[in-house]
Amino acid sequence: MATACATSFLSPAIPLTTKKNIRTTKTKSRTCHVSPRISLQQQRSPNLNVLTTISRLLWGKSLPPQLLISTVRTTWNATWHLMMKQLAPSDPSGSYTRPASKFRINSDSSLFSRLKPGTLHLFVGLPCPWAHRTLIVRALKGLEEAVPISVASPGIDGAWEFHEFRTGNANDLMPSVNNINRCKTLKEVYGLQREGYDGRASVPMLWDVERKEVLCNESYDIIELFNSGFNGAVGNSSVDLSPPSLKGQIEEWNRIIYPNVNNGVYRCGFAQSQEAYDTAVKQLFSTLDMLDDHLASSRYLCGDALTLADICLFTTLIRFDLAYNVLFKCTKKKLLEYPNLHGYMCDIYQIPKVAETCNLEEIMNGYYKILFPLNPGSIRPIIPTGCEHEVLSKPHNRESLSPVNKHAEVHV
């Protein structure tokens, strides 16, 4: 998800018509020979009555639907481009260009040596694939106590807020209040910076509790830090998701997967021209085809060892049929149609602690209810059967590709 759309883009609630109004309109529609579809609309919206009156003045008794449709179409199109500019910045060809993260860290930084439990707090949102990466690595590395979290949820304007949710399964990760500085929105937390901040308030965000400042808001930096930052002191140091011997391969996979798949689905969904979409969707599916071939004989991307590259691919795959296939127009194939990629996704889902980081309901709500310009009616489709927890938990037989052991080199 990118920036939220502003509240003002949301349509005002349409008042319910009284019985008296319905009777009046019915009579009118009979005498004026207005088509039944238009008269039904009239019952609901006073604005359409105004439109009808103006149309009658201009064109007589019958409303010309072609003109109405073309007027609404032109207006909607212009409004859509305006909204998309805010939601998703693009280049002149209409291709989505993801803004760079402002707060970065690297593994040479002194931070890696001064890390102690309690010095960090992680802000996440459950629909977000980038934040999901950090939740999985935190879980696999056993850092739950060392790095507490606050789970934000998207507000009606798309900006991240903190609320307590009491529904759902007790094991599921759910949106929560912000326990570290009591701010009501993520923007307020970012604003606590000594020098102030007025940029994007995105998740994931790692907060330095002692210095009261944003440490990092780039997911890949955060997962590298979680993988190697606390080693020896806390967490599960026997898990290494980026061993030196595989670093080159991991980087090579990331170079392919990030632009074409992780960001590739966004390049499809946020494309603002046909050409931009055509390019993005072609690159996405040719990369998925290639990955499916590779995974026919390799349990994970780099062989028998689960690595950071797998985690980054997984968080896009788990959202694919739930959201990207429909909402982002990634329609050429469903993930379910890729036998190896699908089995690979189930394999990772079944690694202990991973399923608990996947809140499928929150993912669907986050995409369909909040990305208003892509789904103006905010109707959330039903969860596809193939995406349900029971299906993701079925045997996948991927272990037969890996002679080492059931969960390869992940010991949690």
Ligand X SMILES: N[C@@H](CCC(=O)N[C@@H](CS)C(=O)NCC(=O)O)C(=O)O
Q: Which is nearer to ligand X, 218 or 321 (CB)?
A: 218
Token reading at 370: 């909040």
* Cα distance between residue 341 and residue 350, in whole Å: 14
Q: Which residues 6+ apart lie within 8 Å of 271 measured at CB?
A: 90, 94, 95, 96, 277, 280
Token reading at 341: 């990629």
Q: Which is nearer to ligand X, 102 or 294 (CB)?
A: 102
Q: Which is nearer to ligand X, 130 or 368 (CB)?
A: 130
User: Taking the complex as a whole, how short is the minimal distance between the CB of residue 309 and ligand X, in angstroms?
Assistant: 14
Whether 266 is catalytic: yes
Q: Give backbone dihedrals phi and psi of 120, rounded to 5 degrees, phi first.
A: -125, 150
The three-point CA angle 183-184-189 to 5° equals 40
Q: Which is nearer to ligand X, 99 or 352 (CB)?
A: 99
Token reading at 224: 């590298």
Q: Which is nearer to ligand X, 34 or 358 (CB)?
A: 358
Token reading at 64: 């010309």
Q: Which is nearer to ligand X, 2 or 34 (CB)?
A: 2
Catalytic position from the list 5, 96, 128, 330: 128
CB 132 within 8 A of CB 357: yes
User: Taking the complex as a whole, how short is the minimal distance between the CB of residue 154 and ligand X, in angstroms?
Assistant: 8
* Cα distance between residue 375 and residue 367, in whole Å: 9
User: Taking the complex as a whole, how short is the minimal distance between the CB of residue 268 and ligand X, in angstroms?
Assistant: 15
C-alpha pair distances (Å), 15 with each of 10, 21, 157, 295, 314: 15, 12, 22, 54, 44
Residue with tokens 């989505």: 96
User: Taking the complex as a whole, how short is the minimal distance between the CB of residue 179 and ligand X, in angstroms?
Assistant: 19
Residues making contact with ligand X (CB under 6 A): 1-3, 101, 128, 130, 200-204, 218-219
Token reading at 214: 């944003």
Catalytic position from the list 190, 266, 324, 344: 266
User: Taking the complex as a whole, how short is the minimal distance between the CB of residue 49 and ligand X, in angstroms?
Assistant: 39
The residue type of 24 is T
Tell me which DSSP letter residue 91 carries.
-
Whether 277 is catalytic: no
C-alpha pair distances (Å), 235 with each of 73, 117, 139, 212, 270: 56, 10, 9, 24, 38
Q: Which residues 6+ apart lie within 8 Å of 315 measured at CB?
A: 129, 130, 132, 133, 136, 262
Closest to 358 in 3D by CA, of 406, 311, 399: 311
Q: Which is nearer to ligand X, 130 or 285 (CB)?
A: 130
CB 220 within 8 A of CB 312: yes
The residue type of 183 is C
Closest to 151 in 3D by CA, of 126, 118, 169: 126
User: Taking the complex as a whole, how short is the minimal distance between the CB of residue 129 and ligand X, in angstroms?
Assistant: 6
User: Taking the complex as a whole, how short is the minimal distance between the CB of residue 114 and ligand X, in angstroms?
Assistant: 22
Active site (catalytic) residues: 128, 266
